[in-house]
Each structure stands twice: as C-alpha cells, then as structure tokens.
Amino acid sequence: MKPKRFVLPWWIGFSVSLLLPMTFLVFLLSGPHSPWSAVAFTLPVWALIGWDYRAKSETRWMPSRAPHWFFDGLLYLLVLLQILNLLAMGMMLGDIHWGGLYNNATGFLNLVVLRILGGTTLCCSVIAPAHELIHRRARGQHLLGRLMLLLTFYDHFAIAHRQGHHARLGSQADPSTAEPGETYEAFFWRSLNRQWRIAVSAQPHRVWLGVIVEGLLMLGYGWLFGGLALFAWIYISGVAIRLLESVNYFQHYGLTLGAAHSSNTAWCCDSKVSYFLFLGLTRHADHHRRPGIPYPELQSIPHALKLPHGYLWTAIWVKNRNSDFRRWAQRALMRVDRPGSTMSGRSLWLAPPQETIGFPREESAYERSDPEQPELA
C-alpha cells in the first residue's frame, strides 16, 4: 500500500499576500541597487499582474478545520512588515549617492522601482489588510487597522468607509460607488472629497486627531531620514490610494440604487491570485452582505456580476483604458437587465449555507449598534 502523499491545504495560498511586502523589504535592505538589479525587483509585480490576467477561479469555501490563527497571523505579520519597510526605506534612501550622470541615473531608477514596488505593496498589503481590520469588533484589531491607515496617511478612510460607503451603499451620498458613465478621474476626486466631508461631519475629533498624528509621523520621519525619504513615503502612499480608489471604482461601477440591477451590490471576482493577494476582498458582494465576517469566511456568490480579470489587471484597465472598461461594463449591465437573466433580481443574496470556520467574533457594526461608530443622520 502506497503511503499517503501530504498535500498542502488550498487556503495556504493566502501566504501570497506576503510576497510583495517581503520583496519590498529585501529590496530596501539590500539597496541602493545597480540599474539591472533594481529593475529585477519589479518582476514579482509584473508576474502577479500577468498571472492575474489569466488566473484560474477560486470559489471554494473555507472548511471548518482551517486554523483561524493562521489567517489572523497573516494580518499581524503584514502590520509588522509595513513598519519594517518604512524604517528600511528611510535608511536605503539615505545611502543613495548623488552627483554625476551615472549616480543620478541610478538613484532615479531606484526611486522609480520604489514607486512601482512600494505603491503596489502599500495598496495590496497595507490598505487591504487595514480594511479587514477596521471591520473587526475586537478593539486591538480595529486599532491595528487604524495604524495601517495612519501609515498611508489615510486614517479618515476608517470612518468614511463604514459610515459613508457601507451605510449609504449605492446612493448619491455613497462616496465609493461610481455612477454609470462616470470616468475614473472624476470618481477619484469626487470620492476623496466626499470621504473627507463624511468623516469630518461624523467624527471631527477623531479625524483631526488622526491628522495630527499623521503630521507628527511626517515630522519624525523627515527628522530621522531626511526630506527625500519623507517625500518618497508620501508619494508611494498617494500611489497606493490611487490604486485603492481604482478598486473601489470597478467594485461598484454603475450599481446605484436607481438602477434596475441595484440588488447586485458589487462586481465579484473569482481570480485565485486576487483572492489570495487582497485577502478575500474579491468576494466583495458577500462582504457588504456580512461586513463583520472575517475574510476567510466570505463566500463566492453564484450568478453575481463577474469581472473578466483579476483586481490588478482591472485596476490597470480602469486607469489607462477607462473608456474601454466603461463600454464593457455597460454591456454587462445591459445583459443583467434582460428578462430571465440569472443575475437580475435578488439572486445575489441567495448564497446557501455551508460549513465554514467558526471564528470567535461579536456582531458587526451593521448587525447591531456600535456606540463608538454612530450613524450619520
């Protein structure tokens, strides 16, 4: 009788979320780099984008035997990696030698790679886990989510996302639902403005406290590592926010309350790469149905609106060929509106029960009132 072969469980794929921050850390600790060495560090980004374009679907639901400590441990490790990356970035940029054509060109190329690798990492491996953590009811986990957002200068997102986007989903007051025909650029600036106004209106003291903390972080970082390091941190945070808002754009594009297909609250994505890299964010419709559920428990919903590619590829599509994306999305929405479509009506909400992980948790802020997160009038 042949011995039973050991097979790693499929959910170990969530470890992919560590690839970008660990690559970024190695890049920073071993830098500054020669031109070819610097360019080589962008290969994981291009590989993930290419893999995401043709990735296989991942629709399995988590078995009850999967250890919850593994999934929470990934979140805590990502927090630690972000702190280490910021410190390593400051030290590396201080070691770049300027002066002369070669040194200046090499230094500039290192900054370009920093932008590509750092901006992508901050979106996928900092803001995405921060989104998961700010939805957790445990105070320690919620505060870690706020810390991650502070480290991208986007702390007010924690308030605006819950009390603006979730509470007003699909309405004209929702800062994160793109109107049919709205361009990405128009959405981006409208979303930033509306998120800020919602956060300040809802909890002004917490917002301004966050601004003060962000300002102190800037001053301390600039004092420790210099102006170039501070500029780089602010810049890659901006790149990450742009990438995040492109995700928000296509997650809810055209799914307004006034549309016939409004029961479809989000475009779903079954890309295996995006599912693991973004920690389950691709199962976004189920996240809006059950916002307090930990990411491994989120379910892929059959007959929901589906994106043709993963999140990384679609973000590039949205930002660089926006008119093409809008034409595709409009045709897809028109198919939903046809009589007899399996994606119309309330079918999105009819995911059957199945055995999943029993994470210990309290009810989410949307399942019962949260005294620290009052709803807006």
How does residue 371 score in pLDDT terms, banded at 50, 70 and 90?
A: very low
Indicate whether 133 belongs to any domain.
yes
* pLDDT, mean of residues 81-102: 96
Indicate whether 196 belongs to any domain.
yes
The per-residue pLDDT for range 280-313, each reduced to its tens digit, is 999 999 999 888 899 999 999 888 889 999 999 9
Residues constituting the chain: 377
Indicate whether 180 belongs to any domain.
yes
Q: Looking at residue 264, what is its pLDDT? A: 77
Tokens 């170990």 correspond to 12
Indicate whether 249 belongs to any domain.
yes
The amino acid occupying position 253 is Y
How does residue 261 score in pLDDT terms, banded at 50, 70 and 90?
A: low
DSSP 99-124: SSHHHHHHHHHHHHHIIIIIHHHHII
* pLDDT, mean of residues 337-359: 42
Written as six digits, the tokens of 41 are 């560090």
Indicate whether 353 belongs to any domain.
no
pTM for this structure?
0.87
341 vs 94, which has greater pLDDT? Answer: 94
**Number of neighbouring beta carbons within 10 Å of residue 368:** 10
DSSP 152-212: TT-TTHHHHIIIIIITTTTSTT-TT-PPTT--HHHHHHHHHHHHHHHHHHH-HHHHHHHHH
What total of structural domains would you count in the chain?
1
Q: Looking at residue 368, what is its pLDDT? A: 36
How does residue 376 score in pLDDT terms, banded at 50, 70 and 90?
A: very low
Q: Which domain holds residue 93?
A: 13-57+69-337
How does residue 2 score in pLDDT terms, banded at 50, 70 and 90?
A: low
* pLDDT, mean of residues 177-191: 96
Indicate whether 377 belongs to any domain.
no
What's the mean per-residue pLDDT of the chain?
Answer: 88
Could you tell me if 274 and 311 are in contact, meaning their C-beta atoms sit under 8 angstroms apart? yes
